[in-house]
Structure 1
Amino acid sequence: MKKLFGVIGDPIEHSMSPSMHNELFQVYGINANYHAFHVKKENLSDAVKGFKALGFAGFNVTVPHKEAIIPLLDELDPLAKAIGAVNTVVNENGNLKGFNTDGSGFVKGLLERISMLSEKKVLIIGAGGAARAIYFTMAKEGPGLLDICNRTVTKANLIVKDCPYQVTARALNIEEAEHQLEIYDLIIQTTPIGMAPDIERSPISIHKLKSGSFVSDIIYNPLETKLLREAGNKGAEIQNGLDMFVHQGALAFKKWNGIVPDIKRMKDKVLKQLGGLSC
């Protein structure tokens, strides 16, 4: 019997997950299909019930459902519970268990470009589910400073307060972060601002960005956001969200199928579909 997998989000048309996972199923001889489902907030509960009723083996969760889906699941992995967001669900004999592979996927991709994170001064932009996952995972790596900024500072404050790891940290508003941007070695952008089709927006002004810093944007469509383009022009090293995307996808694939997939193949597949070169 064919296994069913999927991804839910709003919007979802931009997702490369179906092509990436369906190719992996072919490569590893797994009788399965992966589909994208456009699910609005008011339909989330019905969608989860439908996946369970249809016997989906697992599914991914993207914006804006990563936090809202938690009460609809039967069980949470301890890390997902601490983060307060889920991006991967596994159906274990009718029991829907939520995991979070965002933070681990991001750090795995980042460490391919940066040799170590200790002592670095880091700024995270945004305070949603992905920001929370990345913040907690980064805190575990022991950076010298781990600030977080958001238009609603109370949300950023909650992430700092809830973090289970000791780290020097501050919650800032966007303007405060902009005014001291030159102190950061690493800036991580976690919001949807700049994602296709609204590609001419940027979440923060980088007028004070220092040359030689590293700027990572978790968006992968487009491959170069306005933020990354401007940062590159100012002499920063840049990274789009493709590395995080394939690594978190690989972690999900392993949870569903018990197989560690070929990361290079996954990345090449997404790049081919996007028609560009990664940065």
Structure 2
Amino acid sequence: MLVYAVFGDPVEHSLSPAMQNAAFSALGLSARYLAFRVRRERLRDAILGAEAMHFGGLNLTIPHKEAALSIVEPDENAAAMGAVNAVAFVDGSIRGYNTDGLGAVRALEGAGVRVDGRRVLIIGAGGAGKAIARQLALSGAQVAIANRDRRRAIELAAAVGGRGYGLSDLSKLVPEAEVVVNATSVGMRGGDPRLFDGRLLREGQTVFDIVYNRKTELLKDAARAGAVAIDGVPMLVWQGALSIEIWTGRKAPTDVMEEAVREELRNR
């Protein structure tokens, strides 16, 4: 039996084991996916140990995505994004990939949202924001990025051919956007402040929140405004599905994976 794992700190909240084990079962693979808490300073030891023990592959979550770049051989996409979230062990090499950006685009497309040529506002310029911004730009979107640290937004926008702003500009940017993406963790906890006044949203927009553990206030505001509201579960599913395809060469059963995630959320 092959072992796969997600490394993070914390990692107890991860839904990846339920999702990936459901996929392995549906594919008839003799494999098991586990979650391991790995401290930042022991990441190299953990990745090398997994390779030595012939793990099938790894996913990486906070706080390891950027640190992994110096440990693995990143592909062009992961190197450009400055983060790794999937690791494969191939012929004695340890290779790094980033499936977050493409996972986000697949999630939007799966909801019937066209990306090419659309005005997309991404809130957040951290790891997730970088991945999503780059992939949306590659997919033909007109990207605007707003971030608490305006300088980071401007730097990321320059790298992907978009425009960078501070959060103070949201009152102007939100009504202009056709697609609004929350690429921050705001909304993960009840009581989190709103990113902006929900009355800025309108019918005909798409609002995509990468938070997946609860229905956020942003998504509630989107529904009230008549906008299309997409939670973070499809992105989680697609980044996991793309990881499976990297590790096994098999097409992952995304419908089975999404049901496993939503069932786990209902039981929590």
Q: TM-score, normalised by structure 1?
A: 0.89
Cα gap change, 1:119 to 1:56, in 2 (>3 Å): same
Q: 1:217 aligns with which of 193, 209, 219?
A: 209
Alignment match, 1:29: 28
Pair 1:14-2:13 in alignment = yes
Pair 1:239-2:238 in alignment = no
Which residue identity is paired with 1:187?
V
Q: CA RMSD in A?
A: 1.8
SS of the residue corresponding to residue 200 of structure 2 reads: coil
| Larger CA deviation: 35-44 vs 102-111 | 35-44
Q: CA deviation at 1:77?
A: 1.0
Q: 2:146 aligns with which of 141, 144, 149?
A: 149
Which residue identity is paired with 1:221?
N
Q: Deviations over 1:161-192 (max 9, x none)?
A: 222xxx4x211111112343211111011112
Q: CA deviation at 1:94?
A: 3.2
Q: Deviations over 1:184-226 (max 9, x none)?
A: 111011112222xx2321461134223331110111111x112
Alignment match, 1:113: 111
Q: Deviations over 1:61-89 (max 9, x none)?
A: 1122211211121x111111111111110
Which residue identity is paired with 1:148?
I
Alignment match, 1:175: 168
5 Å-filtered alignment, 1:1-279, equals 2-73=1-72, 75-143=73-141, 145-163=142-160, 167=161, 169-195=162-188, 198-202=189-193, 204-206=195-197, 207-222=199-214, 224-275=215-266
Partner Cα separation in structure 1 for residue 42 and residue 185 of structure 2: 21
| Partners of 1:200 and 1:226 within 8 A in 2 | no
Partner Cα separation in structure 1 for residue 249 and residue 46 of structure 2: 26
| Partners of 2:194 and 2:217 within 8 A in 1 | no
Ranges in structure 2 where 5+ consecutive residues have no aligned partner: none
SS of the residue corresponding to residue 69 of structure 1 reads: helix
Partner Cα separation in structure 1 for residue 170 and residue 133 of structure 2: 16
Q: Which has the higher contact order (CA 8 A, sep 6+)?
A: 2
Partner Cα separation in structure 2 for residue 209 and residue 29 of structure 1: 44
Q: Deviations over 1:44-71 (max 9, x none)?
A: 3332233233332210011222112111
Ranges in structure 1 where 5+ consecutive residues have no aligned partner: none
Q: CA deviation at 1:115?
A: 4.3
Which residue identity is paired with 2:96?
G
Which residue identity is paired with 2:164?
A
| Partners of 1:178 and 1:204 within 8 A in 2 | no
Q: TM-score, normalised by structure 2?
A: 0.92
Q: Give the percent of matched residue pairs that are identical in Structure 1 and Structure 2.
A: 36
| Partners of 2:7 and 2:37 within 8 A in 1 | yes
Which residue identity is paired with 2:78?
A
Which residue identity is paired with 1:70?
L
| Larger CA deviation: 34-43 vs 125-134 | 34-43
Cα gap change, 1:23 to 1:180, in 2 (>3 Å): closer
Partner Cα separation in structure 2 for residue 183 and residue 201 of structure 1: 25
Which of the pair is proportionally richer in helix?
2
| Larger CA deviation: 208-217 vs 97-106 | 208-217
Partner Cα separation in structure 2 for residue 160 and residue 176 of structure 1: 15
Cα gap change, 1:29 to 1:114, in 2 (>3 Å): closer
Which residue identity is paired with 1:215?
V
| Partners of 2:100 and 2:235 within 8 A in 1 | yes
Partner Cα separation in structure 1 for residue 88 and residue 116 of structure 2: 33
Which residue identity is paired with 1:31?
S
SS of the residue corresponding to residue 261 of structure 1 reads: coil
